[in-house]
């Protein structure tokens, strides 16, 4: 848990760019509108207390004309209150969703950029688990609750100013007799309200301190449980095939037990707060009337003044009790802000780590020679442990190279070429203007139509029907032609072999010059893999191909399809 001032400084640094963004004019006008409507709300609250005093005075005097006047005024107050409240709600919610949209876009862009979503999982800086939950839920709480809490705090400050003046006037002067000495006490109700509310706030904050930590821990436990459920759903077929349901039930039960533990901690913290606030709220209703009742009985004030004093006292103590009333909201908001700050900090640390000149970082540069070049390349893990020794080799356009060695090491070589694995030293020189086409073990197939999944990341209408049919036929997937416009979760519907063949379809459609195949056909037998590799070579005779295959040994048949080998 960060220190309060350090936390506020980081939050302001996170929030400030929103009010300075490209839409700053609209945002600032909305903020000004919210402030003005809040001032009108305070004006209506003051008017209601004055109306309330006039009503009780009319009742005390048994005056029907005065009562009718107050009824007419109530109609105007009623209409104004509805208009101000509705307008205030609309503007506040526009600010909330606008800020949430801006921050979500910023964090998502930073996270889903240049492989950061993958690389950040390898750094050990700030806490940044479950980034999806932090983006989807914590940003919503951090932004929406911030505006709600700022508005309620501003409203309370205005109430404090307005009703202090009213209550000071209504308090009059009360003499304090000490023997023969008489001391006039001015605004005694204000001083009582201040002592009453400040004492309650200090006590309330002390009682509620455990709630912030308990809320933070519960949100983390909820995110871990949600992630566990998503992972089980995504791997449901694999779990079912090996009868892993009992194991999954135990694993999910363990994750949910963490929720139960943190929920119980939060309950204990809530119990202490509710015991205090429930008694405090009941006392607040009766205390101001009892305090002013002797003056009314003695005839020093009217019934209207008594009720106005009671209302003003309640409004003043309510304003001073903002910390107590919003303790739970502040705790939830702070926990969510810290989760967002940790994710942003982790992404910032990652960017700084990659950008910083470091002899233990792989340098990527472009060349104009249509050559993929490794110069004294050494791949390490994030803890600086060497994975592969120095590699110096040039691969020209049209070369077909078999990567021989540990498949995990080969995978990291491909990640280094893609810029996803900066840990190591040496240099990789990439052909400028010729993007690399990576074929992982399984292609990513987004939900939607099969046509859109094949064309991804391009749009569904990028390739013609004829092109799609020809590519499907070459990859021996002609049976899927009739399902091109069918909407399914294709990673669940298609077998692993079909998905890998769809990867080949995507390759044949895009016709890249540089192809990196990472065990992309491991579901096929050796003969099937050789056949589809020959199809790729025949369709793209001028392309450079780097292949990692668990079927290919240096002396195997797969090696014969390539011109040379690189041994890692």
Topology match between the domains 4-355 and 363-567: no
User: Measured between alpha carbons, how far is 102 from 98 in angstroms, rounded to an integer?
Assistant: 6
User: Measured between alpha carbons, how far is 17 from 168 in angstroms, rounded to an integer?
Assistant: 42
Rounded to an integer, the average pLDDT of 39-49 is 86
Distances (CA, A) of 515 to 28, 212, 269, 307, 418: 50, 52, 58, 82, 12
Q: What's the CATH code, domain 4-355?
A: 1.20.1560.10
User: Measured between alpha carbons, how far is 208 from 327 in angstroms, rounded to an integer?
Assistant: 7
Q: So what CATH class is 363-567?
A: alpha beta
Which of 216-225, 393-402, 523-532 is predicted least confidently? 216-225
In this prediction, what percent of the chain has a pLDDT beyond 90?
18
pLDDT band (50, 70, 90) for residue 126: low
Model pLDDT, residue 97? 92
Model pLDDT, residue 160? 81
Q: Tell whether the model's pLDDT for residue 178 goes beyond 70.
A: no
Model pLDDT, residue 174? 64
User: Measured between alpha carbons, how far is 417 from 423 in angstroms, rounded to an integer?
Assistant: 12
Degrees to nearest 5, angle at CA 54 with 52 and 60: 105
Which of 18-22, 376-380, 403-407, 435-439 is predicted least confidently? 403-407
CA atoms within a 13 Å half-sphere pointing along the CA-CB vector of 57: 14
SS3 label, residue 361 = strand
Contact between 174 and 185 under an 8 Å Cβ cutoff? The reply is yes
Peptide bond into 283 cis (omega under 30): no
Model pLDDT, residue 189? 73
User: Measured between alpha carbons, how far is 332 from 110 in angstroms, rounded to an integer?
Assistant: 25
Contact between 312 and 160 under an 8 Å Cβ cutoff? The reply is no
Helix axes 4-19, 327-355, angle to 10 degrees: 70
Mean of pLDDT over the chain? 82
Model pLDDT, residue 91? 92
Rounded to an integer, the average pLDDT of 412-425 is 85
Rounded to an integer, the average pLDDT of 347-368 is 76
Q: Tell whether the model's pLDDT for residue 74 goes beyond 70.
A: yes
- Pull the structure tokens for residue 437: 């086409």
With b for 16 or more beta-carbon neighbours within 10 A and e for fewer, the 293-315 pattern comes to eebbeeeebebbbbbbbbbbbbb
Rounded to an integer, the average pLDDT of 469-497 is 91
pLDDT in tens, 286-313: 677 777 777 777 777 777 677 777 777 7
Q: Tell whether the model's pLDDT for residue 467 goes beyond 90.
A: yes
DSSP codes, 210-250: HHHHHHHHHHHHHHHHHHHHHHHHHTHHHHHHTT-HHHHHH
User: Measured between alpha carbons, how far is 75 from 531 in angstroms, rounded to an integer?
Assistant: 85
Contact between 425 and 359 under an 8 Å Cβ cutoff? The reply is yes
Model pLDDT, residue 251? 87
* DSSP E strands, 96-180: 173-178
Q: Tell whether the model's pLDDT for residue 334 goes beyond 90.
A: no
- Length of the chain equals 568
Model pLDDT, residue 379? 87
Number of H helices, E strands in the chain: 19, 13
Quote the DSSP letter at residue 481.
G
- pTM exceeds 0.85: no
Model pLDDT, residue 1? 54
Which of 84-88, 403-407, 450-454 is predicted least confidently? 403-407
Domain ranges of the chain: 4-355, 363-567
SS3 label, residue 388 = strand
């Amino acid at each position: 848990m960060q220190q309060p001032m350090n936390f506020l400084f980081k939050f302001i640094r996170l929030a400030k760019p929103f009010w300075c963004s490209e839409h700053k004019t609209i945002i600032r006008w909305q903020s000004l509108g919210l402030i003005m409507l809040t001032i009108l709300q305070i004006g209506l609250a003051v008017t209601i207390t004055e109306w309330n005093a006039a009503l009780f005075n009319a009742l005390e005097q048994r005056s029907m004309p005065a009562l009718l006047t107050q009824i007419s005024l109530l109609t105007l107050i009623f209409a104004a209150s509805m208009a101000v409240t509705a307008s205030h709600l609309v503007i506040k919610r526009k600010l909330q969703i606008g800020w949430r949209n801006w921050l979500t876009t910023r964090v998502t862009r930073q996270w889903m950029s240049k492989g950061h979503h993958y690389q950040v999982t390898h750094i050990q800086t700030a806490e940044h688990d479950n980034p999806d939950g932090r983006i989807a839920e914590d940003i919503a709480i951090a932004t929406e609750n911030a505006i709600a809490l700022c508005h309620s705090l501003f409203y309370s400050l205005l109430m404090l100013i307005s009703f202090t003046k009213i209550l000071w006037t209504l308090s009059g002067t009360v003499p304090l007799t000490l023997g023969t000495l008489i001391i006039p006490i001015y605004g005694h109700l204000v001083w009582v309200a201040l002592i009453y509310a400040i004492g309650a706030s200090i006590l309330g904050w002390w009682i509620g301190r455990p709630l912030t930590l308990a809320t933070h821990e519960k949100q983390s436990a909820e995110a871990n449980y949600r992630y566990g459920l998503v992972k089980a759903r995504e791997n449901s077929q694999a779990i079912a095939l090996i009868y892993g349901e009992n194991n999954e039930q135990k694993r999910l039960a363990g994750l949910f037990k963490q929720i139960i533990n943190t929920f119980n901690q939060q309950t204990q913290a809530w119990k202490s707060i509710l015991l205090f606030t429930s008694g405090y709220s009941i006392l607040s209703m009766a205390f101001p009337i009892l305090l002013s009742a002797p003056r009314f009985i003695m005839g020093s004030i009217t019934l209207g003044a008594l009720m106005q004093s009671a209302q003003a006292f309640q409004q003043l103590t309510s304003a001073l009790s903002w910390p107590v009333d919003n303790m739970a909201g502040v705790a939830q908001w702070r926990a969510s802000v810290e989760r967002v700050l940790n994710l942003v900090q982790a992404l910032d640390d990652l960017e700084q780590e990659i950008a910083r000149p470091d002899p233990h970082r792989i340098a990527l540069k472009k060349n104009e020679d249509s050559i993929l070049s490794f110069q004294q390349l050494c791949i390490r893990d994030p803890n600086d442990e060497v994975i592969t020794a120095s590699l110096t080799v040039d691969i020209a356009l049209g070369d077909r190279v078999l990567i021989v060695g540990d498949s995990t090491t080969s995978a990291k070589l491909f990640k280094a070429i893609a810029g996803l694995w900066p840990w190591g030293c040496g240099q990789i020189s990439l052909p400028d203007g010729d993007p690399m086409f990576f074929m992982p073990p399984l292609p990513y197939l987004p939900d939607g139509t099969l046509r859109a999944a094949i064309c991804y990341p391009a749009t569904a209408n990028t390739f013609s029907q004829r092109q799609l049919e020809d590519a499907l036929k070459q990859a021996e997937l002609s049976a899927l032609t009739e399902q091109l416009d069918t909407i399914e979760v294709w990673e669940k519907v298609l077998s692993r072999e079909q998905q890998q063949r769809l990867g080949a379809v995507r390759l044949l459609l895009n016709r890249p010059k540089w192809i990196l195949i990472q065990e992309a056909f491991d579901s096929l037998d050796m003969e099937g893999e050789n056949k589809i590799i020959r199809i790729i070579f025949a369709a793209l005779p001028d392309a450079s191909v780097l292949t990692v295959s668990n079927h290919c040994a240096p002396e195997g048949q797969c090696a014969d399809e390539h011109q040379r080998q690189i041994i890692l």
